[in-house]
Copies of this chain bind each other. A is one copy, B any other.
Amino acid sequence: MRLAVIGAGAVGRSVVELAGEYGHEVVAVADSSSAVVADGGGTASTGVDPDAVVARKAERGIVGDDDPDDALAADYDVLVEATPTTLDDAEPGFSHVTRALERDRHAVLANKGPVAERFGDLRAAVADSDGEIRFEATVGGAIPAVSTVEDIEPGHVTAVRGVLNGTANFILTRMAAEGLDYDHVLAEAQDLGVAEADPSFDVDGTDAALKCVILANVLSFGAADDPADAREFTLADADVEGIRDVPGSALRLAAEDGRTVRLIGEATGDTVRVAPRLVPENGTLAVSGTQNIVQIETSHAGRLNISGRGAGGPETASAVLGDVGRLE
């Protein structure tokens, strides 16, 4: 498949670098101010040069001399939406996707915004298009959460819960392991690049909540006999509490009882909740460091647990490219 990669952050760059290994070629790349579009022209290899694009971005801060709109207008099969997550109207990501669908192309999202905040609008755009959307990369990085729920069939899934944010999990793991307070461990996480300079998206639970909202939409619309009746979720529907107020003493107290604290998100077809919770210290949900885990409760097959790397350029890119493969 020919890919137009919109967004040249860690995920976008990894998709550009790995696409060839999955048998796909990148025909266009855009960041917020520039683009590079391969000119085709009948040669065997019509894609962009991945290494050159990534190097140019590193050295000059741009991907090419074209305009971002040239990438959106290019001749591609699948648009990869990897621009930063935005809330509410989820722009510009939402319009990147609808433009692809209006051209009867497919879109694969790593950007959570459109899927969490405008799921109904996306479905409407897909209904009017020959193209499809997929969004495995929006939940759980390398963990195949969305496709596993789809295969079990949402009507047979009663709940999905888990540790869905590696930054918050790393902080809690370190607080427990070292007996340190939140502020101290946050500084360590920022030094390591595990937490951002402004960490609120992660530590306030917003990132985990968006992922749970996406899962709730998948369950809700997937289980509905008539999608017109399905409840649509947005971030506003989520009950969210982050980890800023978890004191070191809470973790010490928990440890005395063989427990620890993890930021757990849960989605059903009716509710979305994110909050710190006590879990058994050696139990399944107590994944360590930046690991994620998704726990799927099913009607006929008991509970499935899937753990792995929840974030990272190559990890998320592998989820994107897995989705492209499913579109073929």
A residues touching B (Cβ–Cβ < 8 Å)? 18, 21-22, 141-144, 147-148, 151-153, 156, 282, 284, 298-309, 314-315, 317-319, 322, 325-326
Residues of B within 8 A of A284 (CB): 307
Residues of B within 8 A of A142 (CB): 298, 301-302, 304
A300 with B148: in contact, given A308-B305, A325-B153 (CB under 8 Å)? no
In the bound complex, do residue A304 and residue B308 qualify as a contact, i.e. CB atoms below 8 Å apart? Answer: yes
A21 with B156: in contact, given A298-B142, A306-B306, A308-B301 (CB under 8 Å)? yes
Looking at the assembled complex, report how far the CB atom of A154 sits from the nearest CB atom of chain B, in whole angstroms. 12
Distance of A76 Cα from B301 Cα, bound (Å): 26
Residue of chain B at shortest CB distance from A17 = B300
Residues of B within 8 A of A147 (CB): 151
In the bound complex, do residue B304 and residue A143 qualify as a contact, i.e. CB atoms below 8 Å apart? Answer: yes
In the bound complex, do residue A300 and residue B318 qualify as a contact, i.e. CB atoms below 8 Å apart? Answer: yes
Residue of chain B at shortest CB distance from A304 = B308
Residues of B within 8 A of A303 (CB): 308-309
A305 with B302: in contact, given A152-B318, A326-B151 (CB under 8 Å)? no
In the bound complex, do residue A307 and residue B308 qualify as a contact, i.e. CB atoms below 8 Å apart? Answer: no
A148 with B144: in contact, given A300-B318, A315-B302 (CB under 8 Å)? yes
Select A309's contact among B18, B302, B317, B326, beta carbons within 8 Å: B302
Select A306's contact among B153, B156, B282, B305, beta carbons within 8 Å: B305
Jot down 30 A-B pairs with beta carbons below 8 A, ordered by A: A21-B156, A21-B299, A22-B156, A141-B301, A142-B298, A142-B302, A142-B304, A144-B148, A144-B151, A151-B326, A153-B322, A153-B325, A156-B318, A284-B307, A300-B314, A300-B315, A300-B318, A301-B308, A302-B308, A302-B309, A302-B315, A303-B308, A303-B309, A304-B306, A304-B307, A305-B305, A305-B306, A305-B307, A305-B308, A306-B306
In the bound complex, do residue B326 and residue A314 qualify as a contact, i.e. CB atoms below 8 Å apart? Answer: no
Distance of A171 Cα from B27 Cα, bound (Å): 55
Distance of A325 Cα from B150 Cα, bound (Å): 10
Residue of chain B at shortest CB distance from A294 = B306
Distance of A303 Cα from B299 Cα, bound (Å): 27
Distance of A203 Cα from B239 Cα, bound (Å): 48
In the bound complex, do residue A322 and residue B152 qualify as a contact, i.e. CB atoms below 8 Å apart? Answer: yes
Distance of A301 Cα from B152 Cα, bound (Å): 23
Distance of A66 Cα from B326 Cα, bound (Å): 41
In the bound complex, do residue B304 and residue A317 qualify as a contact, i.e. CB atoms below 8 Å apart? Answer: no
**Residue of A21, A141, A306, A315 with most chain B CB atoms under a 10 A cut-off:** A306
Distance of A21 Cα from B307 Cα, bound (Å): 29
Looking at the assembled complex, report how far the CB atom of A25 sits from the nearest CB atom of chain B, in whole angstroms. 16
Residue of chain B at shortest CB distance from A141 = B301
A325 with B22: in contact, given A304-B307, A305-B306 (CB under 8 Å)? no
Looking at the assembled complex, report how far the CB atom of A225 sits from the nearest CB atom of chain B, in whole angstroms. 11
Distance of A147 Cα from B147 Cα, bound (Å): 10
In the bound complex, do residue B300 and residue A18 qualify as a contact, i.e. CB atoms below 8 Å apart? Answer: yes
Select A301's contact among B153, B298, B304, B315, beta carbons within 8 Å: B315
